[in-house]
Amino acid sequence: MAGKPLRIDIDGPDVDMWADGSRLTYRGEPFTGEVAEYSGDDFVSLDEYVQGRVHGSSRAWHYNGRPESEGVCVGGRAVGLWRAWHENGVLASEQWFSDDGWSLLESRAWDEQGRPVRNRSGRHPHPEQVPGDGAGARARTEFSPPPPP
C-alpha cells in the first residue's frame, strides 16, 4: 500500500461516499484502511474499510469521550454482537446479527438507568426494519479508548 495513507478523515477532500453509503473511495479508488470522523477537534468514530466497504471493527464515541458503539462488519454488514452505550456510560443495547449479516437474531435494550426496555429474539430477515438504535459493539467487557489521530 505504498503511497496511500493507512488512516483518512471521512470529511477529507479526496474522500467520496456513494449516495447509498455502500462504498467509499479515496482519490477515485476503493479505500482500504481506517476511516476516522471528527467533529471539530473531537474524535467521534473509526471504521475499518477493505476495498471501499466497511469490513472489520467499527467504533464510535460520544462527544464526552465515552463509548457510543462498537461492532464488526463484514462486507458492509453488521455481524455478531454489537453494543451501544448511553452518554452516561450505561449499556443501551446489545444486538446479535447472523454471520452473513442478513438477519438480526436477538436484540436487547436498556434505559439510561440500566432498566430493561426491550428484549427480542428470533430471526429478523431485514434488520433495518426492526425498531432499535442499530448501533453496537463486540462482545468484550471493556471498551477501548479512542486511538490517537
Q: Stretch 2-22: mean pLDDT, rounded? A: 86
- Can you give the pLDDT at residue 134? 41
**What is the tens place of the pLDDT at every residue in 29-62?**
999 999 999 999 899 999 999 999 999 999 999 9
> Which pLDDT band, with edges at 50, 70 and 90, does 5 fall under?
low
127 secondary structure, DSSP code: G
What cell numbers appear for 54 in the block? 466497511
Spatial separation of the C-alpha atoms in residues 123 and 104, rounded to whole Å? 6
The proportion of the chain whose per-residue pLDDT surpasses 90, expressed as a percent, equals 69
Please say if the pLDDT value at position 139 is more than 50.
no
The residue extents of the domains of the chain are: 7-129
Going by C-alpha positions, the residue among 140, 145, 132 that lies closest to residue 60 is: 145
Please say if the pLDDT value at position 63 is more than 50.
yes
Please say if the pLDDT value at position 138 is more than 70.
no
CB-CB contact of 80 with 56 (8 Å): no
**What is the tens place of the pLDDT at every residue in 77-109?**
999 999 999 999 999 999 999 999 999 999 999
CB-CB contact of 144 with 61 (8 Å): no
CATH label, 7-129, candidates 2.20.110, 2.40.50, 1.20.1300, 2.40.360: 2.20.110
Q: Which residue has the higher pLDDT, 10 or 126?
A: 10
> Which pLDDT band, with edges at 50, 70 and 90, does 142 fall under?
very low
Please say if the pLDDT value at position 130 is more than 50.
no
